[in-house]
Amino acid sequence: MNEAGNTQGIRLLDSTLRDGSHGIRHRYTPQQVELIAGKLDQAGVHSIGVGHGDGLGASSIQYMRSLHTDDELLTAARRVIKRARLAVTFQPGIGTKQQLEWAAELARTWCGSRPTAPRRTSPSSTSGCRGNSGWTCTAT
């Protein structure tokens, strides 16, 4: 809370289910994702990052294979998130155009509208549809 007692300008993005995957060798299960994402959503976290720590499509020999696919983990999180936005990371040179288009298609399915495309303006730039079932793409 700031001096004026206003917290509207503070938004938390929890990356436990994305960056935290490095520490466990990308071995999150869909059941673990559901449990953690559900608790983060209940706690009021604004955005919940899910997936391979190096972004969409990073499950590979170069960046370490994930135990489960991006689709499995994102679907598990989406099942339990009621208020928070679901966030993914996309890094050009790791992810492909097709994977980014796939994420946008998931966003359209979950949001019911076409989100704006992520722009590569800064590491923290985000875009997505508004509302309780929001989707956030974080471009790096």
Question: CA dist 21 to 5, 14, 58, 97, 128, Å?
Answer: 35, 12, 12, 23, 24
Task: Give the span between the Cα atoms of 61 and 66, in whole angstroms.
Answer: 10
List 22, 26, 52, 68, catalytic entry:
22
Q: Is 52 known to be catalytic?
A: no
Quick one: DSSP state of residue 115? P
Question: CA dist 127 to 47, 59, 87, 114, Å?
Answer: 12, 24, 10, 11
Look up residue 128 and give its two tokens: 């997505």
Asked if residues 80 and 46 have their Cβ atoms less than 8 Å apart, the reply is no
Give which of 85, 97, 28 is closest to 56, Cα–Cα: 97
Residues marked as catalytic: 22
